[in-house]
Structure 1
Amino acid sequence: MTHVNVLDPGASPLDYYGFELRRHREAAGLTQKQLGDIVNYTGSLVGQIETARKLPTPEFSERVDAALGTGGLLSRLVALVMRSQLPAWFQHVAELEARATEVCTFQMGMIHGLLQTEAYARATLGALDRTRLDDRTAVHLARQRILDKEEPPAFWMVLSEAALYQEIGGPSTMRGQLARLLSFENQPRINIQVLPFTAGAHAGLTGSFNLYRFTSDPAIVYTESYGNGHPTADLDTVRDCSLRYDHLQAAALSLANSAELIRRVMEERYGEQAEADGDRVA
């Protein structure tokens, strides 16, 4: 008899997902291979997910929900699975993002994670540690699903012009990342302003920060240091950062002028012709 690895569904969200996947597959009378054939994945992958040795993806979950008629169960569970795989110190931030009605962020050196492309995310996550990079990138990008909700949060980003020139992942990656920023031009709930070099001294010189606002809960400010996150609802801190954010928005370019600058940098610094000629300016 083939040994079957029986999961404890209470051990973790990943174990619970695998337990429910196996339960619904067996109830449908399908083998792992048969289910894999239906959803266009290998039976081996189905088995690895059922035994919590592989992370499910949102796409996998949607296909299996449709194949097994689970009413969206796995698609709902996958969000919990992905969040549980984030570094422990960052999991609370992902929960704040998921609950917030408004996210305001100031970014000094790189694009905020909610707007990153896969290539850009891989480059940032793999800068010092490339272990399990595929899984870590998938978990990182899964946070972006909050922007696809029926009522997504309003997202405001003030981005230092320096982040447009910080060449993360190479010219092709940067070209794709800046193109993604431009893709939000006509989406009123996602707003991107660039703080130009010409702004000089500004209210964000002390570093990047996020401000989360909620329907009925107090606002929370989040800052980061190496390997640690620092959320706080302290009223004085929230007031100070809210004022700082107002000043940053006032000093930043308009939405239209910001898009124009992003487009110019994308074409002049990271355009295919510039890459071929090797004439990018430092």
Structure 2
Amino acid sequence: MPTLIATPRARALGFSLRAAREERRMALRELARMARISPGHLHNWETGLRVPKESEVGLLAGCLRMTVEERDRLGELARNAREPNWLESVVPGAPNEAAVYAECERTASAMFNWQPLLIPGLLQTGDYVRASLGGRSGWSKDDVEVAVLIRMARRDVLSRLAEFTAMIGEEALRQNIGGAATMSAQLHHLLTVARRRNIAIQVVPRGAGFHPGLYGCFVVLDYENLPSIVHVEEFRGGAYLYDEADVAAYREAAKELAELALGEQESIEFIQGVLAELEA
């Protein structure tokens, strides 16, 4: 069996180590010198290509003066870093695991996003995000506004991706998220971003029959020099799938959805039709 590299947990550990170092404005070589390790080793840990031992994580945590809670969290990631898949949980006030997904997103070269009931996150407007998060239990208005700012910043990823394919269910276009004005602005935004060369938006119409996408939304993230990851989103967290068989199954699901979806131009015309009905 090949050695697992850059598993979801290994990447999360690496992202967290790098973020902690950069937050303290410490250069990679400086931290490596303090910890008495080679810069190459530290680079591989920060990218998830290699996994440090718990004792090595503790050493880095000491050099970076991390809290006990942060040290324990990174130690847990190191202990389980070789597991291929990862179920995470996100709750307000806890360490922001959503930052891990944002980093996976930021470093991807291509993405396929299936959303049956909501507009894909990278294509959402600020008001749409605000309306969709406003009713979450335990979230204050400040929590929501921070989430809106983060989501808007994440949209910069679209300019760096070689290819972004958004497969959207018809129901997502017809939802009443935030009222008619918010939905109208959201659909106009979809039509605008659909003009970009690296973005493909396709609609899967109602009545298409059974397909794997009925089980829920998912994202396939591809990388130039690392194995692909599938992210399955849930209400308060999500699952990262790294196992080759799991990734292959989701790729097959993506192909089935593509066969059922309208073409890009047909999808644009369909969105225009929904928009005309909404604004009538």
TM-score range, shorter chain: 0.5 to 0.7
Q: Name the residue aligned to 1:236.
A: 245
**Retained in 2: the 8 A contact 1:90–1:229?**
no
Q: Name the residue aligned to 1:104.
A: 112
One-letter code of the match for 2:177? I
Cα 1:238–1:176 shift into 2, 3 Å? same
Post-superposition offset of 1:267: 1.1
Q: Name the residue aligned to 1:33.
A: none
Q: Does 1:246 align with 2:269?
A: no
Cα 1:135–1:12 shift into 2, 3 Å? farther
Q: Name the residue aligned to 2:141.
A: 131
What secondary structure is seen at the aligned counterpart in 1 of 2:215? coil
What secondary structure is seen at the aligned counterpart in 2 of 1:199? coil
Q: Give the TM-score, by structure 2 length.
A: 0.64
Q: Which of 114, 120, 124 does residue 116 from structure 1 map onto? A: 124
**Retained in 2: the 8 A contact 1:113–1:141?**
no
Post-superposition offset of 1:146: 1.5
Cα 1:14–1:180 shift into 2, 3 Å? farther
**Retained in 2: the 8 A contact 1:103–1:213?**
yes
CA distance in 2, matches of 1:180, 1:138: 17
Q: Which runs of 5+ in 2 are unaligned?
A: 1-17, 26-92
One-letter code of the match for 2:103? E
When Rg is computed on C-alpha atoms for both structures, the one with the higher figure is 1
What secondary structure is seen at the aligned counterpart in 1 of 2:100? helix
One-letter code of the match for 2:235? Y
Q: Does 1:141 align with 2:152?
A: yes
Q: Give the TM-score, by structure 1 length.
A: 0.64
Post-superposition offset of 1:13: 8.8
Spell out structure 1 runs of 4+ moving beyond 4 A.
10-17
Equivalent residues in 2 for 1:173-212 (5 A)?
A: 173-212=182-221
Aligned residues: 193
Q: Which runs of 5+ in 1 are unaligned?
A: 1-9, 18-84, 275-282
What secondary structure is seen at the aligned counterpart in 2 of 1:95? helix
CA distance in 2, matches of 1:86, 1:96: 19
CA distance in 2, matches of 1:86, 1:217: 28
CA distance in 1, matches of 2:124, 2:251: 24
Residues 9-33 of structure 1: CA deviation (Å, up to 9, x unaligned): x99699769xxxxxxxxxxxxxxxx
Equivalent residues in 2 for 1:89-100 (5 A)?
A: 89-100=97-108
Post-superposition offset of 1:188: 1.8
Q: Name the residue aligned to 1:56.
A: none
Cα 1:173–1:251 shift into 2, 3 Å? same
What secondary structure is seen at the aligned counterpart in 2 of 1:100? coil
Question: What's the Cα RMSD here?
Answer: 2.3
What secondary structure is seen at the aligned counterpart in 2 of 1:167? coil
Cα 1:91–1:11 shift into 2, 3 Å? closer
Q: Name the residue aligned to 2:164.
A: 155
Identity of aligned residues (%): 33
What secondary structure is seen at the aligned counterpart in 1 of 2:141? coil
